[in-house]
Amino acid sequence: MIAQELEVSLHMAFVEARQQRHEFITVEHLLLALLDNPSAAEVLKACAAH
């Protein structure tokens, strides 16, 4: 079983791709979804991602 936060992020990536009428979920969709997740955004900041 995957963590609840990951499940939500994957769902949000799907929603983002669907809203843009994209056929596939890409890394970009997942990154956008992760940026809306406070825990994931904190990890990215800790890794000096800009």
Whole-number Å distance between alpha carbons of 47 and 16: 25
> Which pLDDT band, with edges at 50, 70 and 90, does 2 fall under?
low
Whole-number Å distance between alpha carbons of 20 and 47: 29
Rounded to 5°, angle at Cα 6 from 4 and 7: 65
Please write the tens of the pLDDT for every residue from 5-47. Answer: 889 999 999 999 999 999 999 999 999 998 898 888 888 889 8
Write down the pLDDT at residue 50: 64
State the Rg of the chain over Cα: 11
Write down the pLDDT at residue 17: 97
Name the token pair of 11. Answer: 């769902």
